[in-house]
Structure formats: structure tokens, C-alpha cells
A and B are shown apart, each in its own frame.
Chain A
Amino acid sequence: MTGPADARAYIRTVGITPDAGGSADLADQIAALQPRLFRFGLTLTRDQEDAADLAQETVARALAASWRFTPGTNLPAWVFRIMRNLHLNRVRDGRAGPKVESLDSVREVAFAETIDLSSVEKAAIERASLAAVREAFAKLPAKYALPIHLVTVEGLSYAETAGVLDVPIGTVMSRIYRGRRLLLAALGGLA
């Protein structure tokens, strides 16, 4: 044997790693996203095993499709979008559990927008235990939790988040606004 083929050559025979146009560096960057994908997967699925499963398949899909990635754009945002689409496909196929929303949309929007937060103290938010914050976040409906996760935890811009979730920027802002208000109400003991 003459020596191991490099990752780029391997791409052409296996079909799971980046094919022509991809690179070993890009493959490494995609693989390095796994912890962040798992974390986003948790917000998407609310289930540890489903999140790990989704993260694994997302990496495989991203590697296989890496030739489509546009250099200079946000790689995590591109991979998060793959993950979100994969999750939607699974929900449609019945391979992921249906989303359970705590309130119907109309009541939820009204509650989120009209609740009076004037009695909530900033110090109470700052002192809230991390477990309490995680619990309150876990109770948020997915449509609010997803943009909050991408912006607050992953540091994506509103425009990038809109691209991942396939909604207008204004919708991203509205959902973050309502979701954060619901979160503040929960942490402030109002909900």
C-alpha cells in the first residue's frame, strides 16, 4: 500500500464525508460543532437521546453536503439549519414526538405581551439558580425557545436566526420578545 488516502480522496468513495469541493478543515469544523448541535438538539427535541441522535445525523448530512456550504458565511448557522430541517422531516415522518405546547397560541401571545413585569426585580433574575433558569426555559414553547437559543446561546444574529428557522426577521424578534417575557414571568414568580 502506498499510504493512506487523504480525507478529500476518501470523500469520493464513501459519500458521507465532504465530496469534491469540501475539505478536511471544513470536516473538522463540522465535527467540532457536535457539542453545540447536541445542545440545540435538546432545545429542538427536549429529549437527550433524540438530541444525540439528531446531532449525529446532522453531522453526517453536513459532511455529505459540505460542497454546498458557501465559504465566508456562518458555518454554525448553516449546520443548524440542516439540523432544524432534519428535525422537521422527522416530525413529519412520525420519527420524532409531536410538539406539546403548554397554551394555545392566542392565549399564549396575549399572556406574553400583556403580563406586567414591573414587579420583577433584576436582582431576582440575576440570582435565579441555573437549574431554575433551565427549567423555565424547558417549559417555553419551541417556537420561542428556538430563536432564543440561537441568539442568546449561539450568538447568531437575528438575520442568521431567521435563515435557520425560515421565518422573517420580524418574527424572530417577536418570538424572542414573547419568549423572554414568559421566561421573566416564570423566574419572577408571575407564572
Chain B
Amino acid sequence: MSACAEHRRFLVAIADGEAAAVPAGTLEHIRDCPDCAGELDLHRAAAVRLRQALQLPAAQPAPKRRAGRAGLAAGGAIAAALLAAAGIFALNVSRPDPVLAAARAGQQPPQFQSSDAGQIGTWCAEESGRPMPEMDLPPLRPVGARMDHQAGAGIVTVYYVSPDGRPLTIGWLDASVAPAGGRSVTSRLVDGRLVLVALSARGTAVISGQGPASLLWSTAAAVEESTAGN
């Protein structure tokens, strides 16, 4: 049994297909040792079961707000920090999230359908009661819009289709709604998907869609470009 002890730690390497890292003497020992061979089988079975258990998709919650957590880190006394943490947690839970609402609004069907960017812009301005940015973002093709009032914000969602047929939405939030951070564009996950939040002179644009990330980034660039002169 003492001979087994010096060989056993290599069992996982064999089970994981890293046999090149295993001394030849260990391979010989395991071949002739029923105890070690039995444990090798256990490691293999555990690896398979673990892979099955952990590869199941996991639901992703919305990330915490960074500004609140950074503020917490700067706190001094433990008691104060705990109180602050409790307050921030309550804030996170109760505060409406307009970005989340905008990203989810884009998953609803449009209320107004048109392929004319001008008509869509007029409809959006009338429904929202505020001036709207340029709707024409070639090569994206506008196909419709909807208006929602959620999470304390007026959300104007404009629907587009990319040249290869991928749907994409831009949710325009009130100009007063701006994500923290100071960057012109931030990324976040909503329901497991990448969403870009672009600040522009005409408000905050929440860009989401089924296309590749590069399509979202190029759209964010187009949004910035189209509103730069406003």
C-alpha cells in the first residue's frame, strides 16, 4: 500500500488525459494494482459527472452596480460598511433599471411598422414628446418602433435589420437617464446577452440584438457619429 501512495497523485493526470506527465513506473504500477486502478476509475467517473453537472446553463442575474460597490470598498468601519452594504443592496433591488427595461422592450414587437426612417422618426417624436436623433443608420434598415414608459423612463425603441438579416434594436432613453461611469460606451449583460449603452448628445442609446458583437459595436459607433453634430 505504501507503494501506492507515491503513484496515486498521478491518477488524476491519467484520468484527465495528461499521461505524458506521468512516470512510466507509475503507469506500470497502476496496470498491476487493483486498488489504484479502482481509484482511477473513480476519478474518471467523477470527471464525467462533474462535467455534466457544471456544464448545465446557469441563469445570469444582472451585474451589481459598480459605483455602489466601489463606494462600499472605500468605507471605513465594519459597522458602517455593513450598514452601507445593506443600503446599497436595497437600492440595487428597488431602483428601476432603465437599461434593463430598454433591452427587454426591444424583445417586444413594434407598435409602428415602416421602412421609412423619416416616418419612424416622426412617429417616435410624437409618441415620446421629445426630439429624436437621426433614425437613418445605413447599412441598417429601419423596420419599426415602439414606445414604452418603464423603470421611470420614456423608452423609444427603434427596430433595424442588418444587411444579412439580423434584428437589432436601439432603445432611446430620456436624455436625463445616463449610466454611471463617464465612458461614452459601456457594455453589460442582460439576460445573458451583450448590450451596449452609448451616451450621445441626443440621449442614451441601449443597443441590443441577435447579431455578433461587432455589429453592436459598429452600431454604437454609428449612433455616436450620427448625433455628434447635434
Q: What residue in chain B is nearest A120 (Cβ atoms)?
A: B42
List of B residues within 8 angstroms of A149 by Cβ: 54
0/1 per residue, A56-81, Cβ < 8 Å to B? Answer: 11011001000000000000000000
| A53 close to B64 (CB less than 8 A) | yes
Q: Of A1, A50, A133, which is within 8 A of B49 by CB?
A: A133
Q: Of B38, B72, B185, B212, which is within 8 A of A95 by CB?
A: B72
Chain A interface mostly helix, strand, loop or mixed? helix
Task: Given A133-B53, A187-B46, verify A118-B35 contact (CB < 8 Å).
Answer: yes
Task: Given A133-B49, A153-B51, A173-B9, verify A1-B189 contact (CB < 8 Å).
Answer: no
Q: What residue in chain A is nearest B65 (Cβ atoms)?
A: A53
- Whether B184 sits at the interface, judged by CB under 8 Å, is yes
List of B residues within 8 angstroms of A137 by Cβ: 50, 53-54
| A184 close to B12 (CB less than 8 A) | no
| B10 close to A173 (CB less than 8 A) | yes
Q: What residue in chain B is nearest A183 (Cβ atoms)?
A: B46
List of A residues within 8 angstroms of B61 by Cβ: 48-49, 52
List of A residues within 8 angstroms of B188 by Cβ: 56
- Whether A104 sits at the interface, judged by CB under 8 Å, is no
Q: Min CB distance, A4 to chain B, in Å?
A: 3
Q: Once the chains are docked, how many angstroms separate the CA of A151 from the CA of B13? A: 10
List of B residues within 8 angstroms of A111 by Cβ: none
- Whether A148 sits at the interface, judged by CB under 8 Å, is yes
Q: Once the chains are docked, how many angstroms separate the CA of A126 from the CA of B217? A: 45
| A14 close to B10 (CB less than 8 A) | no
| B139 close to A52 (CB less than 8 A) | no
Q: Min CB distance, A27 to chain B, in Å?
A: 5
Q: What residue in chain B is nearest A126 (Cβ atoms)?
A: B45
Which B123-152 residues sit within 8 Å CB-CB of chain A?
134, 136-140
Q: Min CB distance, A72 to chain B, in Å?
A: 21
List of A residues within 8 angstroms of B46 by Cβ: 125, 180, 183-184, 187
Task: Given A53-B63, A93-B73, verify A122-B45 contact (CB < 8 Å).
Answer: yes
Category for how many chain A residues contact B: 35 or more
Q: Once the chains are docked, how many angstroms separate the CA of A55 from the CA of B64? A: 11
Q: What residue in chain B is nearest A128 (Cβ atoms)?
A: B49
List of A residues within 8 angstroms of B11 by Cβ: 177
| A153 close to B220 (CB less than 8 A) | no
| A4 close to B139 (CB less than 8 A) | yes
Q: Once the chains are docked, how many angstroms separate the CA of A55 from the CA of B58? A: 13
| B221 close to A10 (CB less than 8 A) | yes
List of B residues within 8 angstroms of A151 by Cβ: 16
- Whether B80 sits at the interface, judged by CB under 8 Å, is no
- Whether A86 sits at the interface, judged by CB under 8 Å, is no
Which A1-52 residues sit within 8 Å CB-CB of chain B?
1, 3-7, 9-10, 13-17, 24-25, 27-28, 30-32, 34-35, 38-39, 42, 48-52
Q: Min CB distance, A24 to chain B, in Å?
A: 3
- Whether A106 sits at the interface, judged by CB under 8 Å, is no
List of A residues within 8 angstroms of B42 by Cβ: 117, 120, 122, 125, 184
Q: What residue in chain B is nearest A169 (Cβ atoms)?
A: B21
| B218 close to A4 (CB less than 8 A) | yes
List of B residues within 8 angstroms of A55 by Cβ: 60, 63, 189
Which 5 A-B pairs have CB atoms at the shortest separation, nearest pair first?
A: A4-B222, A24-B214, A31-B213, A10-B221, A53-B63
24 contacts between A and B (CB under 8 A): A1-B136, A4-B137, A4-B139, A4-B140, A4-B222, A5-B221, A7-B214, A16-B183, A16-B185, A25-B214, A35-B60, A51-B60, A55-B60, A55-B63, A56-B63, A93-B73, A95-B69, A120-B42, A122-B38, A125-B46, A125-B49, A173-B21, A177-B9, A177-B12
